[in-house]
Amino acid sequence: MAQLHRPGSLDEAVELLSGLDNAMVYGGGTAIQILIKQGILFADHFVDLATVPGLREVTADDRGVTVGPMVSIRRMETAAPPLAADAYRHVANPRVRNTASVGGNLAHGDYRLDPPTALLVLDAVVLATSAGGTREIPVREFFTDFQETALEPGELVSGVRIPNQDASAGYHFEKNSSLGENDWPCASAAVLLDDRTVHIGLGAVAPVPVYVTADIAGLDDQGAVDAAIAAVEPVLDPIPDVRGGAEYKRRLARVTVEDAVRRAWKDRDHG
Amino acid sequence: MTTQITVKVNGVEHFLDVEDDALLLDVLREKVGTTSVREGCGVGACGACTVLSGGMSVSSCLALAVRYDGAELTTAEGLDETDDVVSSFVDCDAAQCGYCIPGFVLMSRELLAENARPSECQITEHLEGNICRCGTYPEIRKAVAAAAERRSPR
Ligand SMILES: Cc1cc2nc3c(=O)[nH]c(=O)nc-3n(C[C@H](O)[C@H](O)[C@H](O)COP(=O)(O)OP(=O)(O)OC[C@H]3O[C@@H](n4cnc5c(N)ncnc54)[C@H](O)[C@@H]3O)c2cc1C
Ligand code: FES
Ligand code: FES
């Protein structure tokens, strides 16, 4: 078992992270514990963020909301802008959401996670802190490859800034699972739609969560659906697994996008 | 490494030496003796290992025990039939084998503390991460609604 370190400040946490060999941040631990049980986690040190003060703060201003990495997913159901709140609400179950953290959910980097789809659409910014300081990474540049993120060794997620959502735009988060109602998504889509553009965040249907837009100026609802599906087509690259083959997932992705766009359209026009 | 932690379980303080990698589930079962906290899936998906920490539900199968130093925990052992949720589960015949019931009872207590009059849909949503192998879901849902009624009659 890895050795557990319990730093008392963020400075101490990033020192430990860069100074120790093969160290890993311990956030909520909900993903880490499963990887340990599966025998596929090989860290020598855990740097526990639970003892670091100030990482559970939520600060709202007129531009948006900034949340600490240890804020629970459950809290985001009420603290985040509506599209993101809906995506956070769809993670796992209320008990896991009580423990799982915003930072861990991003850093985990899994292509199926629900919240990144909405964060991509809303153009959120990840704050990454190391012993050298803090930099900002647009979430649209954060997911770099299969289970890889833009975090450098020695960096941790110290916050996420989510801009306010355009109140006149329509939005919808749609998630489809194939093994059971409460399973991981097989295809998910977060959609925000104004008069000219539809913004789409896609989960589970490519090796990374992806963001695409389509021009819908002057189109009717069917036109917007067609434009959205044409825009996602080139980025669909599903990984076949127990939840379905590539062709099945491709089809489910189209259905998910269509449902999300139609609902966002209705939401925009009828509130 | 071993760390000494203090946890209050159902109002009683316990001073425990725990390994850094010990799970709360194992510590509660083996050191505290609260065996109503059970292992089912081991991965956060079934709710058999649910405990309340400061009123908030936790899957103890994914929780490091050292993190609960100073916590006030509730397990089913801390409740008896004077509790509205427990008595409603009994009256509605919600238990068959009973393996899952402590988890459902604790999740229901969390729900009712947050929302005194949950709708049928809100009950289902809050219990979505709990599995009953015997399939007594209709009785469980009825029991939660009955408990809400008992606590705050209309
Ligand atoms: C039963 C179950 C069902 C689930 N279903 C869904 C689902 O439907 N949809 C969905 O989206 N997700 C689902 N999940 C996954 C869940 O979202 C993740 O487990 C959770 O978000 C991970 O957060 P954590 O804080 O527990 O991370 P941890 O387990 O603590 O860490 C995960 C990874 O992130 C790293 N990390 C943690 N915090 C930071 C930080 N601040 N900076 C840098 N690195 C960090 C860790 O080193 C590790 O690599 C499910 C999980 C479970 C247990
Ligand atoms: S054993 Fe913990 S949730 Fe199933
Ligand atoms: S009563 Fe048997 S598992 Fe629920």
Q: How does pLDDT run across A148-203, given as a tens digit for each residue? A: 999 999 999 999 999 999 999 999 999 999 998 778 899 999 999 999 999 999 99
The answer to whether A3-163 and A170-270 have equal CATH topology is no
**Alpha-carbon gap, residue B97 to B50, rounded angstroms:** 17
What does the pLDDT read at residue A1? 76
Give the minimum alpha-carbon distance from B76 to chain A in angstroms, rounded to a whole number. Answer: 16
Contact state of A95 with B129 under an 8 Å Cβ cutoff:
yes
User: Phi/psi at B59 (nearest 5 deg)?
Assistant: -85, 105
Average pLDDT over residues A71-92: 98
The CATH number fitting domain A3-163, selected from 3.40.190.290, 3.40.50.2300, 3.30.465.10, 3.40.50.720: 3.30.465.10
CA dihedral A238, A243, A248, A253 (to 10 degrees): -60
Token pair listed for B55: 């009123």
DSSP A152: P
Tell me which residues have their CB closer than 6 angstroms to ligand 2: B 39-42, 44-49, 59, 61
Chain position carrying tokens 């860290």: A43
Residue B107 exposure: Cα atoms within 13 Å on the Cβ side:
31
Give chain B's domains with CATH numbers: 2-78 (3.10.20.30), 84-151 (1.10.150.120)
Contact state of B47 with A33 under an 8 Å Cβ cutoff:
no
User: Which residues does chain A have within 8 Å of residue B59's beta carbon, measured at their own beta carbons?
Assistant: 30, 95-96, 99
Give the minimum alpha-carbon distance from B150 to chain A in angstroms, rounded to a whole number. Answer: 24
Contact state of B44 with A182 under an 8 Å Cβ cutoff:
no
For residue A101, the cross-strand partners are A72
What does the pLDDT read at residue B153? 81
pLDDT tops 80 at residue A85: yes
**Alpha-carbon gap, residue A180 to A161, rounded angstroms:** 33
User: Binning pLDDT at 50, 70 and 90, where does residue A271 land?
Assistant: confident
CA B41 to ligand 2 center in whole angstroms:
5
What does the pLDDT read at residue B152? 83
Give the minimum alpha-carbon distance from A198 to chain B in angstroms, rounded to a whole number. Answer: 30
Other CB atoms within 10 A of residue B12 CB: 10
**CATH number, domain A170-270:** 3.30.390.50
CA A35 to ligand 2 center in whole angstroms:
15
What angle do helix axes B101-114 and B84-91 make, rounded to 10 degrees?
Answer: 130
Residue A104 Cβ < 6 Å to ligand 1: yes
pLDDT tops 90 at residue A250: yes
Average pLDDT over residues A73-88: 98
Query: Cβ distance B102 to B50 under 8 Å?
Result: yes
The SS3 of residue B105 is: helix
Residue B19 exposure: Cα atoms within 13 Å on the Cβ side:
10
Chain B: residue whose CA lies nearest to A5? B20
Tell me which residues have their CB closer than 6 angstroms to ligand 3: B 95-101, 132-134, 136
Residue A142 Cβ < 6 Å to ligand 1: no
Q: Domain residue spans in chain A?
A: 3-163, 170-270
User: Which residues does chain B have within 8 Å of residue A1's beta carbon, measured at their own beta carbons?
Assistant: 19-21
Other CB atoms within 10 A of residue A49 CB: 25
For residue A46, the cross-strand partners are A4, A24
What does the pLDDT read at residue A98? 98
Contact state of B21 with A48 under an 8 Å Cβ cutoff:
no
**pLDDT under 70: residue ranges of chain B:** none
Residue A199 Cα distances to A169, A210, A212, A250, B101, angstroms = 10, 11, 6, 19, 44
